[in-house]
Amino acid sequence: MTSTHPSRCYALVPCAGIGSRAGTIGPKQYTRLAGMTVVGHTLAALAKVPRLANVLVVLSPDDDEFEWQVPGFPGWVSRAGGASRAQTVANGLAELLLHGAAPDDWVLVHDAARCLVRPEWIDALIDACVDDSVGGLLALPVADTLKDERQGRVAETVDRANKWQAQTPQMFRIAMLRTALEHAGVQVTDEASAIESLGLAPKLVRGSLENFKVTYANDFDLAERLLRNRT
């Protein structure tokens, strides 16, 4: 799909999860770190990327916390979250179109819990993908030895050559990603997987080890220290 206007970039932040692995009281995105909520830090970083035309946060239909947990957020908010990440993102893409985004505009999907993302990393992703026919994602080459597990024991060592750890943002055209999510189904855990299901190869753009997803209880302590020591 093509249009006469230059393609714009939007950010979509799926924020409908409950954070069951984090061991927090309430959704982990509202845990406070270094003076702000987890998602507050995430949105503050996105706000510093001038090439983003707007940011859409997709919440659970039952979320009654966002507005007071993240006061003054100037972007778009939708309570159209689904039962899975893929459903939440798909619903968010439909919302972007309702807000005036074009099918061939870019969307950068970013995890609410990757609260250490830096604007310069997002800019690097845009630079790498804006003229690409597919799009791409931030990722890191795997440095550690990988083990396949069976019943709590090592089943085999997995070759780490050419293995990358996916991060976010992940940047694709809105229409292409909608088609990919419909094709791949709700089981996919990231947008690149959906794009791959169409036989396409997303571009790998080197990210940072610091851009980790706050998932487990110990992650919060590490994220707090890193945020407080930033300059």
User: Residue 111 and residue 12: Cα distance in Å, rounded?
Assistant: 9
Match 């229409």 to its residue by tokens.
175
Closest CA to 77 of 58, 95, 91: 58
Q: What is the residue-averaged pLDDT of the chain? A: 93
Question: CA 138 to CA 26: how far, in whole Å?
Answer: 29
Please give the Cα distance from 174 to 179 (Å, whole number).
Answer: 9
> What does the alpha-carbon distance between residue 204 and residue 39 come to, in Å, rounded to a whole number?
25
How many CB atoms sit inside 10 A of residue 163's CB? 14
Tell me the Cα Rg of the chain: 17
CA angle, 210 as apex, 115 and 86 as ends, to 5°? Answer: 50
Q: What pLDDT sits at residue 25?
A: 56
169 upstream amide cis, omega within 30 of 0: yes
Please state whether beta strands 135-141 and 164-173 pair in parallel, antiparallel, or not at all (unpaired). antiparallel
The per-residue pLDDT for 231 is 61
Q: What is the pLDDT of residues 169-188, one digit of tens each?
A: 999 999 999 999 999 998 99
Report residues of the chain scoring pLDDT below 70: 1-5, 18-26, 231
Interior angle at CA 10, CA 85 and CA 12, nearest 5? 20
DSSP line for the chain: ---SSPPPEEEEEEE----TTTT-SS-GGG-EETTEEHHHHHHHHHTT-TTEEEEEEEE-TT---HHHHSTT--SEEE----SSHHHHHHHHHHHHHHTT--TTSEEEE--TT-TT--HHHHHHHHHHHTT-SSEEEEEEE--SPEEEEETTEEEEEEP-TT-EEEEEEEEEEHHHHHHHHHHH-TT-SSHHHHHHTTT--PEEEE--TT-----SHHHHHHHHHHHHT--
CB count in 10 Å sphere of residue 154:
9
CA distance 106 to 182: 18
pLDDT at 5: 62
Q: What pTM, to 2 d.p., does this model score?
A: 0.93
Between CA 139 and CA 165 the distance in angstroms is: 5
- Sorted by where each starts, the structural domains of the chain and their CATH numbers stand as 9-225 (3.90.550.10)
